[in-house]
Structure 1
Amino acid sequence: MGSLTHEDLHAGIADPGMDSMRLLSETAMKFPEALSFSSGAPYDGNHDLAVLSSSVERYIQHLRDSGVPEGRITRLMFQYGPVNGFIREEIAHMLRRDENVDVPPEAVMVTHGFQEAALVALRGLFTGPDDVLLSVSPTYVGMPGAARTLDIPVTPVTEGPHGLDPDSVAAAARQLRARGKRPRAVYLIPDFSNPSGTVVPLEARRRLLRVAAEEGLMILEDNPYGLFARDGEEMPTLKSLDTTGNVIYLGSFAKTAFPGARVGYLVADQTVSSPDGAQRALAEELSKAKSMYTVGTSSLSQAAVAGLLVDNDHTLRSATRELAHLYHERLDTVLRCLAEHFPPERYAEHGVRWNEPRGGFFLVVEVDFVADLAAMERSARDYRVSWAPMSMFHLDGGGRRAMRLGFSNLAPADIREGISRLARFISDTPRD
């Protein structure tokens, strides 16, 4: 059997929609001279190889200072470690300080980035063909992509200007139940959502928690950008507000530390009762799935992240303030440049508008032509500026006339030049 067709492969592999991130990265490599608004990479100007090694050393010294025997430290660094990770206590300490989330270390699983956390959570919660995942749309492709690989159906819930609307979640859940399906969980990024940059207001968060309890839904809360709010505008996580045990919290150090570590975490403190009456945290039960996916998360990566946590007294909120201000400056630069090239009062003339997030890494620009991959490649090739088609992030066929701009890893001067190039591309593209 020397060759295969798509029919020979799992539907999640054959689905063209699963290929969006690879296509974006390949376009960036194909046109290296293009200024890229298509990426969601964090700022990399402060990465230092010396810090990498010193963070590992810092954690090792922390273990020594804590009285951990040298032989055990050596084994932790070089051997297979606990499936759920050995820096759970450090992460639990950070969550108490930064998010007001008070859980025991046993409720934390250290994962290979967010993506493994998503896979593990979905595999544990979804038990049959009638179980359905609700997801905000547009959304980060990682969660619906994970569901697709596990044959879990996804029902989109279209977001509004303030993110996911709780009443829309309740309506979608009831419609599914009327069709004999079981709405099992709902996924969202409540703080500066990828791709739209929306923030769910405080009262809507409380209402969503009530809806979850009433409808028997778990909430899968993804929070990569919450620490980058403007001073005085920080919002409590759904997990910190949860009093009924309906929230599983999915986190990552990709944006707050560095993505190359590939360290994330899952927080699931719900109690699971076994047939013999024993009770364990859901995170511990889910370790059975993790052990089959990756066996364990890299020891050296865990040590590097834990060293950063120890060095910053287990708070990244204060440690990332300077970085947050940098992102705010870049967001403000994008908004200012867009307004200069496309004055809002002349919208009828140019047909371009955008939303104005208060933070995060992304915003959305609406245009009056189809902004698909072919248009993006033409933009990168002929105008030397790239972006991401919003249609990649919609689960319901929307976003055909919009583009996501990611600005987190572009200096202000590059942003100004990039928006100038983008303006020329938009102005030269016929309206349809």
Structure 2
Amino acid sequence: MTITADTADRAPVLPRAALHPSLSQPLLDTMNFLNEVTLRYPQAISFAPGRPYEAGFDVADVPALIETYLDHLRERGLSEERVRTALYQYGETAGQIRDLVADMLRVDEDMAVDPGSVVVTVGCQEAVLLTLRALFTGPDDVLLVDSPCYVGVTGAAGLLGIDVVPVPGTAHGPSLDGLDRVVRELTEQGRRAKALYVVPDCSNPTGVSMSVEDRTALLARARRLGLLLLEDNPYGVFSTVRRPTLKALDTGRSVIYLGSFAKTAFPGARVGFVVADQPVESADSGAPGLLADELAKVKSMVTVNTSSLSQAAVAGLLLRAGGGLRAANEPVARHYQATMRALRDTLARELPPGETESAGVRWNDPDGGFFLTLDVPFPADEAALRRSAQTYGVIWTPMRYFHLDGAGDHRIRLSCSGVTVDQAVDGAVRLARFVKDRAKEDGRA
């Protein structure tokens, strides 16, 4: 039988109820909407994407990076046949560069990590997915998030049917009083808070960083409450203040560390990792294993293994940089600091505090990373974003996308990572003009 366009048009339509409920959540349309806006207005200056600055990328580097890793394998005594296998074949599910990842964490973060506790993943997003799948066992298990929260985490939890409850965020990280209250309320409901997701350094979306004292206090509170902490650290190397990670401070193995090479190397490699050194009871009464082993089991049924080519490219970069990436990222870190400074300084000039036209407008002052947030005196919704892009030539991200509690309607996220200093200045001027014009329409200026 030949299938024609006409017969195809009469094919049964899948009812929405036949699909997983998470696919109907507006959250899953967020990235598509932002991509659509960005592509529709290519001449606009975009403060929307949290992507690394790519002027330093060189296509010619990739083959050289792979060759650096292959030479490393040869120096370790591998035959040409084994080198070929390492590059062309399926590799270990948990990853073939775990030792190099552990070395990087030692060099960059002063973290003592056993390579056996590392699982190399397809981006940090897979690390999140594997961790959530392994930890959350039933409908009464709840994931806590520092609110506002990165949409990749709440979206992954939704796909897995895991309930997410926000913990109020502050200018210094999650509120400990709020954490106590949320855990107590969940316990009274017969539910169990199993883990808290947090980004202690230059967080997405707010840019907030936690002090060492706040990190120590959070660790102590998590231990008292019986919570695991899921620490995500994609931006730490870009901070102007170096602080120990939660994992480096952790003495009770209560922190699962999520990492990514998307920002420190290049996102096209799609390589991330998770450090999961928590002991897990053996299924056969033998010696305890590690949570990393359980995550590898999940990975074997999701992506089988992480691309050997991608791992080789990242490994070559690590080897070329002497084991760590913090020093290698200093030039681009200075670029991010310069673009963020240009953005803030221009906003201060165009929207001076105390002026009538600046009423209700304020922004925070992160010590690094990609993001800062701006409060505005009008709804920062999709309609406002389209107008800003079309009429004023500047794109941003509504903060409402990052909230689970209906907040954030009058806040926007600005990313300084993908622009030049001149673009940051020009974009801030355009944004200030939009903010002032929009506020005037509401009679606020």
- Tell me the TM-score normalized by structure 1: 0.97
The whole-number CA distance in structure 2 between the counterparts of 1:380 and 1:424 is: 12
The whole-number CA distance in structure 1 between the counterparts of 2:16 and 2:199 is: 32
1:241-260 to 2 correspondences below 5 Å: 241-260=249-268
Partners of 1:350 and 1:427 within 8 A in 2: no
The whole-number CA distance in structure 1 between the counterparts of 2:356 and 2:311 is: 50
Give the 3-state SS of the residue equivalent to 1:286 in structure 2.
helix
Give the 3-state SS of the residue equivalent to 2:354 in structure 1.
helix
Q: Offset at 1:67? A: 0.8
Partners of 2:120 and 2:271 within 8 A in 1: yes
- Equivalent residue number for residue 420 of structure 1: 429
The whole-number CA distance in structure 1 between the counterparts of 2:392 and 2:376 is: 17
Q: Offset at 1:423? A: 1.4
Letter in 2 for 1:149: L
Q: State yes or no: 1:267 paired with 2:275.
A: yes
Partners of 2:120 and 2:274 within 8 A in 1: yes
Q: State yes or no: 1:167 paired with 2:186.
A: no
The whole-number CA distance in structure 2 between the counterparts of 1:223 and 1:384 is: 32
The whole-number CA distance in structure 2 between the counterparts of 1:157 and 1:367 is: 23
Structure whose CA Rg is larger: 2
Q: Provide the aligned length of Structure 1 versus Structure 2.
A: 430
Q: Offset at 1:275? A: 3.0
- Equivalent residue number for residue 35 of structure 2: 25
- Equivalent residue number for residue 136 of structure 1: 146
Q: Offset at 1:271? A: 1.3
Q: State yes or no: 1:196 paired with 2:206.
A: yes
Q: Give a deviation string over 1:119-178, Cα, whole Å, max 9, x none.
A: 000001001110000001111101111100000000001201112123322221122111
Unaligned runs of 5+ in 2: 1-10
Q: Offset at 1:11? A: 1.2
1:159-308 to 2 correspondences below 5 Å: 159-230=169-240, 233-276=241-284, 277-308=286-317
Using a 3 Å threshold, how does the CA distance of structure 1 residues 349 and 284 change in structure 2: closer, same or farther? closer
The whole-number CA distance in structure 1 between the counterparts of 2:342 and 2:404 is: 30
Q: State yes or no: 1:373 paired with 2:382.
A: yes
Which range is displaced more, 87-96 or 161-170? 161-170
Q: Give a deviation string over 1:51-94, Cα, whole Å, max 9, x none.
A: 11100000000110111122111111111111111000000011
| Candidates 73, 97, 102, aligned match of 1:87 | 97
Letter in 2 for 1:236: P
Letter in 2 for 1:152: I
| Candidates 126, 142, 154, aligned match of 2:136 | 126
Q: Give a deviation string over 1:215-248, Cα, whole Å, max 9, x none.
A: 1111000000001111xx2011000000011000
- Equivalent residue number for residue 396 of structure 2: 387
Q: Offset at 1:349? A: 4.8
Give the 3-state SS of the residue equivalent to 2:196 in structure 1.
strand
The whole-number CA distance in structure 2 between the counterparts of 1:343 and 1:163 is: 28
Q: Offset at 1:351? A: 2.8
The whole-number CA distance in structure 1 between the counterparts of 2:231 and 2:179 is: 14
- Equivalent residue number for residue 442 of structure 2: 431
Runs of 4+ in 1 over 3 A off after TM superposition: 347-350
Give the 3-state SS of the residue equivalent to 1:344 in structure 2.
coil
- Equivalent residue number for residue 8 of structure 2: none
Partners of 2:205 and 2:413 within 8 A in 1: yes
Letter in 2 for 1:126: F
The whole-number CA distance in structure 1 between the counterparts of 2:74 and 2:390 is: 54
Q: State yes or no: 1:63 paired with 2:73.
A: yes
- Equivalent residue number for residue 10 of structure 1: 20
Which range is displaced more, 5-14 or 366-375? 5-14
Which range is displaced more, 85-94 or 166-175? 166-175
Letter in 2 for 1:229: S
Letter in 2 for 1:359: G
Partners of 2:351 and 2:358 within 8 A in 1: no
Give the 3-state SS of the residue equivalent to 2:315 in structure 1.
helix
| Candidates 23, 30, 48, aligned match of 2:58 | 48
| Candidates 389, 403, 414, aligned match of 1:405 | 414
Partners of 1:390 and 1:404 within 8 A in 2: yes
- Tell me the TM-score normalized by structure 2: 0.95
Unaligned runs of 5+ in 1: none
Which range is displaced more, 12-21 or 126-135? 12-21
* C-alpha RMSD over aligned residues: 1.2
Q: Offset at 1:348? A: 6.6
Which range is displaced more, 163-172 or 297-306? 163-172
Which range is displaced more, 302-311 or 161-170? 161-170
Give the 3-state SS of the residue equivalent to 1:403 in structure 2.
strand
The whole-number CA distance in structure 1 between the counterparts of 2:400 and 2:250 is: 33
Give the 3-state SS of the residue equivalent to 1:309 in structure 2.
helix
Q: Offset at 1:325? A: 1.0
Using a 3 Å threshold, how does the CA distance of structure 1 residues 72 and 211 change in structure 2: closer, same or farther? same
The whole-number CA distance in structure 2 between the counterparts of 1:116 and 1:170 is: 29
Letter in 1 for 2:114: P
The whole-number CA distance in structure 1 between the counterparts of 2:103 and 2:358 is: 54
Give the 3-state SS of the residue equivalent to 1:157 in structure 2.
strand
Partners of 1:166 and 1:204 within 8 A in 2: no
- Equivalent residue number for residue 3 of structure 2: none
Give the 3-state SS of the residue equivalent to 2:30 in structure 1.
helix
